[in-house]
């Protein structure tokens, strides 16, 4: 039996959390180091997994526990596996998780509890990406929600809305979404079990059985899943938790939430909803495209009207997720590739953005743009990180988000024409608000009250270095990202188009 | 041997400055001198390779017909065997790109050198050189791109460098706003270009230049709408922004907020011509669509005239030069629009020398006068700054179109091309613009360098790092045009579209352009130098009051955009935001409120009083009893949930 | 089944006493009066049990209810009510709703009573004389476990009542 | 006509129960509520004993059951009064209208 790499990746933060539980609560430095080591082990292993993934073979690799029966009557197995869609997401989670630990280096209010919860959060997110069993997927998803709530209401900050409101809104929204999802999953399970005879909760098993579902069943099941995953990925008009939630959350949570948690929605949409219910997907695709474009344009304009940095990034992430929805709605190889890659790119960029905003807030105690200005002189490295994230956000060619957006544009322009043009026009507005925020925060005359500020240094540099490297390398060598994704999107798309042909559409 | 190496390793040329960027950012930033040496050195080596490569191209006539292309896969989507999208990155060397490669690296080297003197003592010295190196790398990458997407990436990166360098004095609000304006304006244009690229990719399945040119040549339109026309127009929107064509020219004059070497390098010689270069590269596309060609020509001609009229009234030295750049870029577009790649690239080539020269000269003046920019406050500088003055005069003669200076030959080439294609109106526009150009340029020269000295100024000649580039570029401004004289046009043998064009020498046009240029200079001399005491210029301005004000305020286009941006875009944004917090969030909170309200409603029953509960309990018992009494026990057991 | 006239008279007399006294228990405005009427109800109830051939139950009724319970309640009242005893036993705000519910209960009982075929249930035999020995034997044999549990319950109630009714300060000293 | 049957006892018991219930629901004094509960328990006892006589005259089920009821009732009164006294000591009131602690 080969080394269970996925399980090790999954359990490293748990182990760190367990150790943390026994560390004295005054040992702040030790606590942070343990958390950093835990996430670093995961990061290193997931990098290893990412680069040893056999792209020529594709499909599921690093399979673990597909024969470990967990609940026999429901056909649940502890099935962990990674393919070209989940690997980038896993890597993203670990990149951001590792950076988030360092972005929270200055948390001195009950750090032990903070880092334990953070570790659990990271574990939950990773679990959703490597679970190949729908039940396990949902289980890990629910694991995620609770730490988020606690983290927001204890370590969050109150601005336009109180942190209690933000945490409540975030949690309830996600739970409502997952409730609809759960109904969809249960209905899918019941129907497929009736069709297949034996219960099977694994993705592949469900997809095979679901192929025999009637068109009507596929359509309403997909609608439930679309609502569930859609509110998770902040699809317009189910997005309003996102800006408020990010604004209220502490830096690390904003990073993980905007960076990866949101992507669970997009990931589920691709790997669960579309994969299992292609006929339903093709029915809903035009509506999804419209919602996606609405999200892009609407949230971009919304971001333009903001004066709080976190709100800007919050709306911006809604806008970027609009592209993902649009791409998924294309239902072709290019679009699906673009959707997954854009999730990766946006994750890295949003995490960097939030970590930099977190540092700005930590140092100046404000995120209100009119109170800021000229920070480029006082904190040049911070400014460089901020600008890097800002430029990636507006899709600057040469940074990681450009090629994913380009592929999305190709596919959506091809499939939806004029509608896509409105979406693509979002890049102009994005440039406008991102540059405005950057200019008003970093440039202009330096303010004397910030003269004493210290630039980021030491551990605080880690998010910038790690995420910045990914931004640049991913932008210069997009094939690193796309070859992996493509190796799994192609078979997935083949399965979908087969199903669509049998379904009589196309 | 070395030439061969340079030809097949042309990617080294952009790579070297890129490495310099990395080295400066990560290693040598604390040591300004070292950073400068790294930047200039890498650019000089790049220039050396570029020269070798250009030499290799210009000694082998095969490359005219069949460009040297080598590329590698950047990324691809779909099955490995037959990808749905494959983007390559590579090098395409033909006379046009080789010329650009040489020109950009050559001018960049000298401007880098010049910057050492100009930026002396600036706290951001190293950062400045890192940006410059990044710019050099991106621009050179753009030039050698074999793929339109690769070009677009470089296009975006030069835009970024332009943004960073315009906003280099970031503590100045004006610089910050100018940088933002430049980026956003170009972004609007990039949007069009991006759509064009997408359409090309979708229709033709590739973005490689060579493949595209073949496919488009054999493309037949089946639809009446005209896919190609649409694509051509969309692609052209990009150059409109990048090359400062009307109506997206507004950013270019503001871009003069950047340090002067930046204005010379980016906003005169290289980046702004990227748009022209792009249209030149994709001329196979425009060539198929006459209406798009018409659009290019008209836009170019109009921009040339439009910018020239504004330049007449401006007072800041760099602003005048900026409008002049816009105007000259219009010329280049005009040439492309009438189908002459030769004339366009020729003007691009000569313009790079004399405009870079003039900007550097202006920079030298500003350096000496401590950034006093108004030409009316200068005067008589020729005594204290001889090298600057005389090189500037050479530039002025070149741009005005006085033979044998470089600008004359290229401008003449454009006018002749326009005439020979039968665009008489555009020819007239071009000719009149030539007159205006000579006038406003010499207005500036007379006001700034001649006339009376102003006692409050204490000018001094600049250090050698600044004057050497001036002299070198002055030589270029003098001699760069000799490769394309109408009598022996070497240029046209190498750089052309379709087939080399060899018309008869048009002495009439030549004479006309000389006369117009001379007339412009003479008029400027009369108004601003000879009879400056009579204040004719002021009276003229008063006579044409409204016109003057309109010109001085640049036709109020900036105000229009500002209004559009603030009233419409921001207004919509605010509206959307209000919609978001009151309607969308209102619904969300409304649902929450509904839950709370129903909870409040049900709370009435939760009085906390024992007897109240007993009452309700008995009501429940009664209900069950009634049910059992009137429907029989089976129905009741159904309701009670299987209690047997 | 024929019943003697004395039984009939006794039944109606006792029934009227029970209902009247019970009504007065509820409607009396003085809590002490209520308890007195309660005692009357209990005693009348004991008589009623005699008409049902349940002499042992009747005895227990008198001993436990009329004796112990009533006295206990009176002591309780004495411990609680210190001021004037007038208007100590009033109705609360849900008088009419409560009345309505009770009316419904009565109506429903009437419906059920009318519907049920009582006569069919009645067994032919008569109750044997001297119920005490039978009950005693049953309690010690068949129902011994419930009997012991009841004993335990009384013990628990005893302890519980002491614990609950003890003074606060004593509790504070002894407990936490 | 003059015969006293099971029905008479049942009706009496129902009426007594209703009176007791009425008292439980409407009295303000906690002790009165306790008393009324006793009335209701007594009504039940009537029923038990009556059924014991008329339905199972030789088994004594009803009678034994009513003994247990009386036992429980006695215990209940004891504990109930103790609770009331404890409450009174805390709040100086036995007025049930003053208490709404059954909600958080």
* Best residue of B600, B611, B620 to probe chain D, by most D CBs closer than 10 Å: B611
The pLDDT of B29-50, averaged and rounded, is 89
**Closest partner CB to D22 (pick from C68, C93, C98):** C98
Please report whether residue C31 resides in a domain.
yes
D84 close to B (CB below 8 A): no
pLDDT bin (cut points 50, 70, 90) of residue B567 is confident
The pLDDT of B29-37, averaged and rounded, is 87
Share of chain B above pLDDT 70, in %: 95
pTM passes above 0.80 = yes
Is the pLDDT assigned to residue B457 strictly greater than 80? no
C103 close to B (CB below 8 A): no
Cβ within 8 Å, pair C45-D57: no
D97 close to C (CB below 8 A): yes
**pLDDT reported for residue C165:** 81
D8 with D20: CB under 8 angstroms?
Answer: no
**pLDDT reported for residue A99:** 92
Q: How many CB atoms lie within 10 A of CB A187?
A: 15
More confident residue, B342 or C174: B342
- How far is it, in rounded angstroms, from Cα A393 to Cα A400? 9
**Closest partner CB to B614 (pick from D24, D97, D103):** D24
- How far is it, in rounded angstroms, from Cα B72 to Cα A305? 44
**Closest partner CB to D66 (pick from C38, C57, C128):** C57
Is the confidence metric ipTM above 0.85 for this complex?
A: no
Q: Which residues contact A240 (CB under 8 A, 6 or more apart)?
A: A169, B580, B584, B585, B588
Chain B segment 140-179 residues within 8 A of A by beta carbon are 149, 152-157, 160, 163, 167, 170-173, 175-177, 179
User: What tokens were used for B115?
Assistant: 């910057």
B82 close to D (CB below 8 A): no
Nearest to D71 by CA among B206, A202, C57: C57
Domain that holds residue C46: 5-142
C98 close to B (CB below 8 A): yes
**pLDDT reported for residue A505:** 41
Q: Would you call the peptide bond into B247 cis, given omega within 30 degrees of 0 as the criterion?
A: yes
A130 with A80: CB under 8 angstroms?
Answer: yes
Cβ within 8 Å, pair D39-C41: yes
Nearest to B163 by CA among B151, B177, B180: B180
**pLDDT reported for residue C15:** 92
B615 close to C (CB below 8 A): yes
pLDDT bin (cut points 50, 70, 90) of residue B494 is confident
Chain A residues whose CB is inside 8 A of the B167 CB are 439, 443
Number of H helices, E strands in chain D: 3, 0
Residue of B nearest to D104 (CA): B608
The pLDDT of C48-74, averaged and rounded, is 88
* Tens-digit pLDDT string for chain A (506 aa): 578 888 899 999 999 999 999 988 888 889 999 999 999 999 999 999 999 888 888 788 888 887 888 888 888 888 888 888 999 999 999 999 999 999 988 888 888 999 999 999 999 999 999 999 889 998 898 888 888 888 888 888 877 778 888 888 888 888 888 888 899 988 988 888 888 888 888 888 888 888 888 888 888 899 999 998 988 888 888 888 888 888 888 888 889 888 888 899 999 999 889 988 888 888 899 999 999 999 898 888 888 888 888 889 999 999 999 999 999 998 888 899 999 999 999 999 999 999 999 998 888 888 888 888 888 888 888 888 999 999 999 888 888 989 999 999 999 988 888 888 888 888 888 988 888 888 888 888 888 888 888 888 888 888 999 999 999 999 889 888 988 998 888 888 888 888 777 644 43
DSSP, residue by residue, B282-330: THHHHHT-HHHHHHHHHHHHHHHHHHHHHHHH--BHHHHHHHHHHHHHH
Minimum mean pLDDT range among A11-25, A264-278, B214-228, B307-321: B214-228
The pLDDT of B273-302, averaged and rounded, is 87
Chain D residues whose CB is inside 8 A of the C68 CB are 74
- How far is it, in rounded angstroms, from Cα C112 to Cα B54? 112
Cβ within 8 Å, pair B615-C108: no
Share of chain B above pLDDT 90, in %: 6
Q: What are phi and psi of B70, to 5 degrees?
A: -140, 135
Cβ within 8 Å, pair B194-A429: no
The pLDDT of B69-83, averaged and rounded, is 83
Q: Which residues contact B343 (CB under 8 A, 6 or more apart)?
A: B335, B410, B413, B414, B416, B417
Touching chains, D (3+ CB pairs < 8 A): B, C
**pLDDT reported for residue C145:** 92
Chain B residues whose CB is inside 8 A of the A421 CB are 195
- How far is it, in rounded angstroms, from Cα B385 to Cα B264? 19
pLDDT digits (tens, 9 = 90+) for D7-26: 888 889 999 999 999 999 88
Touching chains, C (3+ CB pairs < 8 A): B, D
Chain C residues whose CB is inside 8 A of the D65 CB are none
Q: Which residues contact A255 (CB under 8 A, 6 or more apart)?
A: A96, A99, A100, A103, A350, A351, A354, A355, A358, A463
Please report whether residue C147 resides in a domain.
no
pLDDT bin (cut points 50, 70, 90) of residue B338 is confident
Nearest to A103 by CA among A115, A113, A120, A87: A115
D69 close to C (CB below 8 A): no
Q: Is A422 exposed, middle or buried (0-12, 13-18, 19+ CB in 10 A)?
A: middle
Chains D and C physically touch (3 or more Cβ atom pairs below 8 Å): yes
Q: What is the CATH number of domain D6-98?
A: 1.10.287.3510
Helical ranges in A67-133 per DSSP H: 86-103, 111-130
DSSP, residue by residue, B184-228: HHHHHHHHHHHHHHHHHHHHHS--BHHHHHHHHHT----SSS-HH
- How far is it, in rounded angstroms, from Cα B495 to Cα B502? 12
Residue of B nearest to C109 (CA): B625
Which residues are B93's β-sheet partners? Answer: B68
Q: Cα C170 to the chain's mean position, in Å?
A: 34
Tell me the domain boundaries of chain D.
Answer: 6-98
**pLDDT reported for residue A347:** 92
- How far is it, in rounded angstroms, from Cα A435 to Cα B185? 12
B609 with D97: CB under 8 angstroms?
Answer: yes
In the 3-class helix/strand/coil scheme, how is chain C assigned residue by residue? CCCCHHHHHHHHHHHHHHHHHHHHHHHCCCHHHHHHHHHHHHHHHHHHHHHCCCHHHHHHHHHHHHHHHHHHHHHHHHHHCCCCCCCCCCECCCHHHHHHHHHHHHHHHHHHHHHCCHHHHCCCCCCCCCHHHHHHHHHHCCCHHHHHHHHHHHHHHHHHHHHHHCCHHHHHHHCC
More confident residue, A96 or D88: A96
D34 close to B (CB below 8 A): no
Chains A and B physically touch (3 or more Cβ atom pairs below 8 Å): yes
Cβ within 8 Å, pair D5-C135: no
Cα of first residue to Cα of last residue in chain A, in angstroms, is 44
Chains C and B physically touch (3 or more Cβ atom pairs below 8 Å): yes
Cβ within 8 Å, pair B609-D26: no
Residue of B nearest to A56 (CA): B80
Cβ within 8 Å, pair C25-D35: yes
B642 SS3 class: coil
D26 close to B (CB below 8 A): yes
What total of structural domains would you count in chain C?
Answer: 1
Tell me the HSE value of B52 on the side-chain side, using a 13 A CA sphere.
18
Is the pLDDT assigned to residue B482 strictly greater than 80? yes
- How far is it, in rounded angstroms, from Cα B270 to Cα B290? 28
CATH number for C136:
1.20.120.1200
pLDDT digits (tens, 9 = 90+) for B103-160: 899 988 888 888 888 888 888 888 889 999 999 999 999 999 989 999 999 999 999 9
* Best residue of A234, A379, A406, A471 to probe chain B, by most B CBs closer than 10 Å: A406
Chain B residues whose CB is inside 8 A of the D99 CB are 608-610
Distance from CA of B608 to the nearest CA of C (A): 14
DSSP 8-state assignment for residue D6? H
Cβ within 8 Å, pair B76-A377: no
Please report whether residue C151 resides in a domain.
no
Q: Is C97 exposed, middle or buried (0-12, 13-18, 19+ CB in 10 A)?
A: middle
């Amino acid at each position: 039996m080969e080394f269970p790499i996925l399980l090790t990746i999954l359990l490293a933060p748990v182990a760190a959390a367990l150790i943390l539980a026994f560390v004295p609560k005054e040992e702040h430095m030790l606590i942070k180091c343990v958390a950093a080591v835990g996430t670093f082990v995961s990061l290193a292993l997931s990098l290893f997994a990412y680069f040893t993934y056999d792209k020529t073979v594709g499909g599921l690799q690093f399979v673990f526990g597909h024969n470990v029966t967990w609940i026999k009557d429901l056909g649940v197995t502890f099935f962990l596996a990674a393919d070209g869609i989940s690997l980038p997401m896993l890597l993203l989670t670990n990149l951001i998780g590792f950076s988030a630990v360092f972005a929270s280096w200055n948390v001195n209010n009950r750090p032990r509890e903070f880092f334990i919860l953070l570790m659990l959060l990271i574990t939950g997110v990773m679990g959703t990406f490597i679970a190949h069993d729908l039940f396990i997927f949902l289980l890990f998803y629910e694991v995620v929600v609770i730490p988020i709530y606690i983290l927001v209401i204890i370590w969050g900050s109150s601005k336009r809305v109180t942190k209690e409101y933000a945490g409540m809104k975030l949690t309830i929204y996600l739970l409502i979404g997952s409730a609809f999802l759960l109904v969809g999953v249960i209905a899918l399970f019941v129907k497929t079990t009736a069709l297949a005879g034996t219960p099977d909760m694994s993705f592949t098993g469900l997809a095979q059985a679901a192929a025999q579902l009637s068109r009507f069943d596929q359509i309403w099941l997909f609608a439930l899943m679309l609502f569930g995953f859609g509110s998770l990925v902040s699809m317009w008009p189910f997005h309003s938790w996102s800006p408020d939630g990010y604004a209220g959350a502490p830096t690390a949570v904003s990073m993980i939430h905007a960076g990866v948690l949101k992507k669970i929605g997009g990931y589920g949409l691709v790997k669960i909803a579309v994969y299992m219910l292609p006929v339903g997907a093709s029915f809903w695709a035009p509506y999804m495209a419209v919602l996606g474009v609405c999200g892009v344009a609407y949230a971009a304009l919304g971001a333009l009207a903001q004066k709080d940095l976190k709100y800007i990034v919050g709306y911006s992430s809604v806008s970027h997720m609009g592209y993902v929805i649009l791409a998924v709605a294309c239902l072709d190889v290019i679009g699906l590739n673009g959707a997954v890659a854009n999730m990766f790119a946006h994750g890295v960029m949003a995490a960097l953005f939030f970590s930099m905003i977190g540092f700005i807030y930590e140092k100046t105690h404000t995120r209100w743009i009119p109170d800021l200005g000229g920070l480029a002189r006082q904190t040049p490295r911070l400014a460089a990180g901020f600008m890097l994230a800002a430029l990636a956000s507006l899709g600057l060619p040469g940074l990681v988000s450009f090629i994913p957006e380009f592929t999305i544009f190709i596919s959506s322009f091809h499939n939806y024409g004029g509608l896509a043009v409105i979406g693509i026009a979002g890049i102009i507005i994005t440039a406008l608000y991102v540059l405005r925020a950057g200019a008003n925060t970093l440039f202009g005359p330096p303010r004397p009250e910030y003269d004493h500020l210290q630039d980021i240094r030491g551990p605080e540099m880690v998010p910038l270095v790690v995420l910045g490297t990914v931004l640049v390398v991913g932008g210069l060598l997009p094939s690193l990202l796309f070859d992996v994704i493509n190796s799994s999107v192609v078979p997935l798309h083949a399965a979908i188009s087969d199903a669509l042909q049998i379904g009589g559409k196309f | 041997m070395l030439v061969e190496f340079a030809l097949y390793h042309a990617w080294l040329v952009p790579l070297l400055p890129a490495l310099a960027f990395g080295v400066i950012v990560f290693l040598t930033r604390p040591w300004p001198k070292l950073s400068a040496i790294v930047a200039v050195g890498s650019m000089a080596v790049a220039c050396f390779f570029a020269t070798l490569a250009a030499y290799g191209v210009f000694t082998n006539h095969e490359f005219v017909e069949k460009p040297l292309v080598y590329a590698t896969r950047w990324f691809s989507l779909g099955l490995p065997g037959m990808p749905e999208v494959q983007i390559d990155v590579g090098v395409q060397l033909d006379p046009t790109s080789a010329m650009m490669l040489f020109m950009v690296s050559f001018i960049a080297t000298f401007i880098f050198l010049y910057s050492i003197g100009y930026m002396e003592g600036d706290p951001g010295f190293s950062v400045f050189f890192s940006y410059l190196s990044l710019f050099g790398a991106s621009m050179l990458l753009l030039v050698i791109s074999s793929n339109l997407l690769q070009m677009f990436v470089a296009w975006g990166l030069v835009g970024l460098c332009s943004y960073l360098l315009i906003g280099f004095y970031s503590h100045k609000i004006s610089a910050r706003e100018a940088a933002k304006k430049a980026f956003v304006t170009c972004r609007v244009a990039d949007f069009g270009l991006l759509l064009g690229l997408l359409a090309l990719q979708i229709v033709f399945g590739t973005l490689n230049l060579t493949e595209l040119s073949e496919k488009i040549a054999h493309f037949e339109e089946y639809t009446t709408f005209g896919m190609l026309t649409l694509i051509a127009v969309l692609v052209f929107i990009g150059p409109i922004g990048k090359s400062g064509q009307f109506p997206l020219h507004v950013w270019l004059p503001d871009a003069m907020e950047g340090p002067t070497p930046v204005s010379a390098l980016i906003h005169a010689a290289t980046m702004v011509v990227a748009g022209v270069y792009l249209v030149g590269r994709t001329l196979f596309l425009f060539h198929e669509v006459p209406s798009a060609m018409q659009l290019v020509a008209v836009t170019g001609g109009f921009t040339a005239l439009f910018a020239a009229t504004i330049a007449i009234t401006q007072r800041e030295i760099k602003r005048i030069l900026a409008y002049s750049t816009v105007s000259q870029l219009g010329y280049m577009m005009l040439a492309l629009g009438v189908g002459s790649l030769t004339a366009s690239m020729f003007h691009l080539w000569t313009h790079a020398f004399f405009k870079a020269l003039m900007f550097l000269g202006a920079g030298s003046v500003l350096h000496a006068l401590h950034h006093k920019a108004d030409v009316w406050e200068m005067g008589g500088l020729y005594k204290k700054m001889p090298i600057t003055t005389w090189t500037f005069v050479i530039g002025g003669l070149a741009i005005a179109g006085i033979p044998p200076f470089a600008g004359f030959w290229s401008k003449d080439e454009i006018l002749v091309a326009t005439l020979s294609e039968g665009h008489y109106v555009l020819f007239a526009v071009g000719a009149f613009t030539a007159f205006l150009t000579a006038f406003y340029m010499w207005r500036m020269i007379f006001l700034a360098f001649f006339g009376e000295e102003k006692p409050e100024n204490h000018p001094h000649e600049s250090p050698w790092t600044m004057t050497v580039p001036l002299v070198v570029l002055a030589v270029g401004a003098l001699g760069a045009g000799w490769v394309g004289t109408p009598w022996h046009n070497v240029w046209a043998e190498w750089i052309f579209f379709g087939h080399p064009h060899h018309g008869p020498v048009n002495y009439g046009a030549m004479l006309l352009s000389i006369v117009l240029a001379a007339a412009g200079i003479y008029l400027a001399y009369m108004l601003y130098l000879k009879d400056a005491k009579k204040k004719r210029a002021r009276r003229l301005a008063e006579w044409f009051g409204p016109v003057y004000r309109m010109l001085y305020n640049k036709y109020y286009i900036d105000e229009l955009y500002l209004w559009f941006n603030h009233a419409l875009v921001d207004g919509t944004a605010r509206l959307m935001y209000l919609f978001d917090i009151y309607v969308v969030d209102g619904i969300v909170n409304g649902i929450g409120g509904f839950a709370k309200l129903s909870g409040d409603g049900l709370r009435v029953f939760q009085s906390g009083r024992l007897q109240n509960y007993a009452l309700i309990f008995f009501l429940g018992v009664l209900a069950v009893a009634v049910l059992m009494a009137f429907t029989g026990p089976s129905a009741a057991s159904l309701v009670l949930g299987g209690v047997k | 089944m024929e019943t003697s006239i004395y039984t009939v008279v006794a039944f109606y007399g006792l029934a009227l006493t029970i209902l009247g006294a019970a009504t007065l228990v509820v409607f009396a405005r003085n809590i002490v009066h209520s308890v007195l009427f309660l005692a009357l109800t209990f005693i009348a109830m004991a008589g009623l049990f005699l008409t049902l051939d349940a002499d042992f139950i009747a005895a227990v009724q008198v001993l436990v209810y009329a004796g112990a319970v009533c006295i206990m309640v009176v002591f309780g009242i004495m411990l609680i009510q210190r001021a004037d005893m007038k208007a100590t036993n009033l109705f609360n705000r849900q008088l009419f709703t409560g009345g309505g519910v009770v009316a419904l209960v009565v109506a429903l009982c009437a419906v059920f009573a009318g519907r049920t075929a009582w006569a069919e249930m009645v067994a032919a035999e008569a109750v044997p004389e001297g119920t005490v020995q039978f009950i005693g034997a049953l309690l010690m044999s068949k129902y011994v476990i419930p009997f012991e549990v009841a004993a335990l319950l009384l013990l628990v109630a005893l302890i519980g009542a002491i614990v609950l009714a003890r003074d606060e300060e004593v509790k504070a000293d002894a407990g936490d | 006509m003059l015969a006293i049957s099971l029905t008479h006892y049942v009706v009496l018991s129902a009426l007594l129960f209703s009176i007791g219930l009425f008292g439980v629901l409407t009295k303000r004094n906690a002790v009165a509520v306790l008393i009324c509960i006793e009335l209701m328990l007594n009504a039940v006892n009537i029923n038990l004993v009556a059924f014991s006589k008329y339905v199972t005259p030789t088994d004594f089920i009803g009678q034994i059951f009513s003994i247990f009821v009386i036992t429980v009732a006695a215990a209940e009164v004891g504990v109930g009064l103790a609770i009331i006294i404890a409450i009174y000591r805390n709040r100086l009131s036995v007025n049930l209208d003053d208490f709404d602690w059954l909600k958080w």
